[in-house]
Chains A and B, each alone.
Chain A
Amino acid sequence: MREQIEGSQAVARAVGACRPQVIAAYPISPQTHIVEELSDLVRVGRLESEYLMVESEFGALSACIGSSAAGSRTYTATSSQGLLFMAEALFNASGLGLPIVMTVANRAIGAPINIWNDQSDSMAMRDSGWIQLYARSNQEAADVHVQAFKLAEELSLPVMVCMDGFVLTHAFEPVDVPDEVTVDAFLPPFQPRQLLHPDDPVTIGAMVGPEAFTEVKYLMHLTQRAALDAVPRIAGEFREAFGRESGGLVQRYRTGDADTVVVALGSVLGTAEEVADAMRDDGYAVGVLGIGCFRPWPDSEVRAVLANARRVVVLERAFSVGAGGIVGKDVRDALRGTDSVVYDVVAGLGGRPITGASLRRLLDDVAADRLDPTELHFLDLRTDVVSQELARGGAR
């Protein structure tokens, strides 16, 4: 049923419909409304789940690891500092092949402390072995969580569903929350690939030395790459069951004949599409490519969409300090050998809104060749503040 609700509520109810048996909860802005809603559902008996209020995010994911290894469908949510506080556990969970699903309400990482939206948190953990899916709207966020449980349990790998903190989590918009009945039909009961149970003892987490470690990691890589087939297939099954498109590896918008394509992840895609439409009206062939699955990296799909674009503008809400763009690097890799020119633009850090007006100005600059593709660009950088600080000796 379509309702006008808060993003966090939509996600919580979608997760609830998947019947996780164990939920670990620790508060951090801006994901907290999700775990609060789940708490309410459990309290009033609408969701049967063990709800653990743990003492930290490290505790949260640790509890999830234990719970998943013991055979329960398991969920938690976090952001930013919290994601990093569980970093060791992230690698542990993926290394052990535990199908935990976690929401990451994307938020900047301190210092300086900042509670607002950007994607540095999940980007910082892109190598952790977790599958990373990014939602562009609250409808998609709700839907992708349902798909995530199926994906995680099929591959026996943990999945993080990323949604822009505050921008999506705290926005009220129409969402048709997947109902329990249809979810039950879509999502089979959890069949753990490995299970801690006295009936059939297994050892989980042995020490692996040089003689086999490489092979273990190689196989992990293959498993994650298998998601490149699983993600679109499950999105297709979702469409069959629920009657709408949601998720998938990438989403194309007017890219077929585009001369310039903007690549982005998450909520900014809506704004980007509006700007693309306006530019089309003004005679520019602009398209937008949304990355729905960032890990594994869908290099073939990206290449297929972008290879004929003369210019590719990668818009990212994070960057690799001292190096440059993150998504941009992956895009360049995918476009090896083609003639497309790739521009790296960092935007929206620490919650600075990415406005349609700024995006339009950026794309006008690109169209007029005013932007240097060999440089890393920061959208809406306050050069006055930067100059002032440099003059004070702020840079070393």
Chain B
Amino acid sequence: MSTELKLYQIDTFAVGNRLLDADRRTVQASTGRANGITSGHRACRGCGEALGARYVVDAALRAAEGNLVTVNSTGCLEVFSTPYPESAWQLPWLHSLFGNGPAVASGVAAALRAQGRSDVRVLAQAGDGGTVDIGFGCLSGMFERNDDVLFVCYDNQGYMNTGVQRSGATPPAARTANTKAIGPEPGNQFGQGKNAPLIAMAHEVPYVATATVADLHDLEAKVTKAMQYRGARYLHVLVPCPLGWAADPSQTIRLARLAKESGLFPVFEAEHGVVTSVSPIRQQEPVVEYLRLQGRFAHLLDGDGRPELVERIQAGADANIRRFGLLDRPDPTATGRRP
């Protein structure tokens, strides 16, 4: 791994932080980071998934001291990182199929155990389609058996690589190629969708967490913590997709932050089915601040818009806030400064 890395200090929200003790700095801040998914891949400008994968894989590699194998389901990540004859991966990497990532990862873990090589850890990576839809049966099986795999879902809320279609993770009212903003009920239906983290919790696996690409420290800490456990672990990472969300590529991190700060994407940890910690909202944002940055919600706000649908979305966010207590413990370090 001899890629020359260049680091740029741009903001206190960014990678690194000179004021922190060395042992509290992020993996990404280190020039010695593994760079598990290296540059040259073909992701779109502003791709949240590429960013998330980089953060997750490097943190997992550090936690595993380099002894890591990853299994990757079909989807954007796999496609843009391995255009034959090139590969961006600097660790052992196996492309499964679309629907069996969890099962293939379970198999890898079993083999390593059989060979007395349980020091080598297994990381499974998939998009939301491969996790909540087509991979769901296999995922449940992996959870149920408590196989020793850290499964990471990069959730960009749709089937993006095939041209932005609706998945079980697509939020209500969102426009996709097969839930267009036309007809009497524009966008994706309300009252559908799966909450994968809660489903993982229902399996009472050792560790479940959600995170976003907006908070690097938090994401890395969760990967590191997950790697300290054995058994089935699940990490759900929100990764905005500029193409699919019709957002400006420069807004990826902002969007992830707004998803959390609005309450639409609760950030928390759970162990054996019980929530153990919550990342509180620093400064609550009305959902409209998040929606208006995305073309996939434009029909809700353009012209007369659909204010009643925005209200329903806000109600969903408020319900999350109540359910997880996202405003119960206001962050004393909040400075009131917007990102």
Contact = CB atoms under 8 A, between A and B. Distances in A.
B180 A55 contact: no
Interface stretch (A26-34, A210-218, A287-295, A314-322): A26-34
Contacts of B165: 27, 32, 36, 53
A85 B99 contact: yes
A18 interface: no
B168 A40 contact: no
A29 B136 contact: no
B142 to A, nearest CB: 17
A185 to B, nearest CB: 28
Interface in B74-98: 74, 78-79, 84, 95, 97-98
A55 B98 contact: no
A228 interface: no
Interface residues of A, number: 25
A81 interface: yes
Contacts of B132: 55
B159 interface: yes
A333 to B, nearest CB: 34
Contacts of A58: 99
A56 B166 contact: no
Contact of B84 (A28, A32, A81, A112): A112
Interface residues of B, number: 26
Contacts of B79: 113
B180 A40 contact: yes
B162 A25 contact: no
B180 A56 contact: no
A43 B178 CA distance: 9
Contacts of B183: 43-45
Interface string A28-67: 1100110110011001110000000101111000000000
A111 interface: yes
A43 B180 contact: yes
* Most B CB within 10 A of own CB, among A25, A39, A85, A112: A39
A32 B134 contact: no
Given A27-B162, A39-B179, A113 B95 contact: yes
B178 A53 contact: yes
A32 B177 contact: yes
B182 interface: yes
B218 interface: no
Nearest to A53: B166
Contacts of A81: 74, 97-98
The 5 residue pairs across chains A and B that have the minimum distance between CB atoms = A43-B183, A56-B134, A55-B133, A27-B165, A39-B178
7 contacts: A27-B162, A32-B177, A43-B182, A56-B98, A85-B98, A110-B97, A112-B84
Given A40-B180, A81-B97, 5 more contacts: A36-B163, A53-B166, A53-B178, A53-B179, A81-B98
